[in-house]
Amino acid sequence: MPELPPAAPYDALLLLSFGGPEGPDDVVPFLENVTKGRGIPRERLEEVGQHYFLYGGVSPINAQNRELLAALRKDFADTGLDLPVYWGNRNWAPYLTDTLREMAQDGRKRILTLVTSAYASYSGCRQYRENLADAIETLRAEGIEPPRVDKLRHYFNHPGFVEPMVEGVLTALQELPESVRDGARIAFTTHSIPTSAADTSGPVEGHGDGGAYVAQHLDVARIIAGRVREATGVDRPWELVYQSRSGAPHIPWLEPDICDHLEDVHGAGAPAVVMAPIGFVSDHMEVVYDLDTEAKAKAEELGLPVVRSATVGADPRFVAGLRELVLERAEAERGVPGAERCALGALGPSHDLCPAGCCPARTPKPAAAGTD
């Protein structure tokens, strides 16, 4: 019997991301795509539009995804993994539907999807699955047979994601003046989401009080804080805080906000803070505006030394970790017994297939690559 290629049954990988504007004329249509039917107040949209205009209307996210795409292709080539990698987005070109059509036309029959969100939540998981279902439906309506689509498990606790962030925090600490280094607190940050979305994130049995979204972030924060303690011999206080809140003010979102947190800890005598954006995989607009611009301005106003640690971006350890996850899933689909499922922390490896009812939408919609 001929030997199966290591990624079998998969014949392609799809990098699926958020997308961002690439010039001033793209900003408003991009924001309209993002917020279609999501009830974001007009004022918030105008404010967010200004963040993009400050950077010439260009979000850094597309360049970062091109870099990740190139790094994945190079890593696959270097390790002899013959698996083509495609890229598509939810909100901007290259649009997911166009990419999936191209994949079908290239003869891809069974694909694995890697989303640029490491954690469970409606925005970071099910909404992408809904986008996949939409794209599949569009292809069928065009008379094109879409590939069968799976989605890679959440990788928040995979060493390939966590280890570069540990190093990032250690590097950030070195950037602080020595006199405040040992006393520095670590503020792990992630995207705020409505508390109702957090409470229902992840599998149904884990629903309630922050759900999988908060539990997964706390697990990652605990791992990183522990590794940093071991490496520096200093036990620094840390907490999980939030950023980039949108939505109507009367709807509760996860708190505290990073800026309020900086004020609080400064008031309580903290000498310095490391902001560690564990909720994001690259330095996109949420990171460069909400942290590097807004939160740093707040810190400056307070006279509080603040540094920001790196996101994983296209770090070779992250890229290698993603390859391991692809191979792990391929083995699982081939029914190879005893395949290792690498995970750090207390939660263990995440499920391959989203169970019914996880990360529900406010209004139920068809979703691909899961149980419901």
Ligand X SMILES: CC1=C(CCC(=O)O)c2cc3nc(cc4[nH]c(cc5[nH]c(cc1n2)c(C)c5CCC(=O)O)c(CCC(=O)O)c4C)C(CCC(=O)O)=C3C
Is residue 117 involved in binding ligand X (CB under 6 A)? yes
CA atoms of 85 and 17, how far apart (whole Å):
13
Q: How far is the CB of 299 from ligand X (least distance, A)?
A: 21
Is residue 286 involved in binding ligand X (CB under 6 A)? yes
Q: HEC string of 91-104?
A: CCCCEHHHHHHHHH
Q: How far is the CB of 171 from ligand X (least distance, A)?
A: 23
Residue span 182-201 as binding mask against ligand X, x where in contact by CB under 6 A, dash where not: ---------x-x--------
What residue type is assigned to position 244 of the chain?
S
Longest dimension (CA), the chain: 70
* Of residues 121-160, those binding ligand X (CB under 6 A): 121, 123-124
Q: How far is the CB of 151 from ligand X (least distance, A)?
A: 13
Contact window for ligand X (CB under 6 A) among 73-81, 95-103, 116-124, 214-222: 116-124
51 annotated as a binding-site residue: no
Is residue 60 involved in binding ligand X (CB under 6 A)? yes
CA atoms of 216 and 303, how far apart (whole Å):
32
Is residue 20 involved in binding ligand X (CB under 6 A)? yes
* Residue of the chain from 7, 34, 139, 354 that contacts ligand X (CB under 6 A): 34
CA atoms of 65 and 47, how far apart (whole Å):
25
Contact window for ligand X (CB under 6 A) among 37-45, 229-237, 296-304, 322-330: 37-45
CA atoms of 146 and 140, how far apart (whole Å):
7
* Of residues 201-260, those binding ligand X (CB under 6 A): 246-247
Residue by residue, DSSP assigns 44-100 as HHHHHHHHHHHTTTB-THHHHHHHHHHHHHHHHHHTT----EEEEESSSSSBHHHHH
345 SS3 class: coil
Is residue 35 involved in binding ligand X (CB under 6 A)? yes
The torsion defined by the Cα of 92, 94, 100 and 102, in degrees rounded to 10, comes to: 160
Chain residues binding ligand X by CB under 6 A are 18, 20, 31, 34-35, 38, 40, 44, 48, 59-61, 116-117, 121, 123-124, 191, 193, 246-247, 279, 284-286
Residue numbering of the annotated binding site for Fe-coproporphyrin III: 59, 128
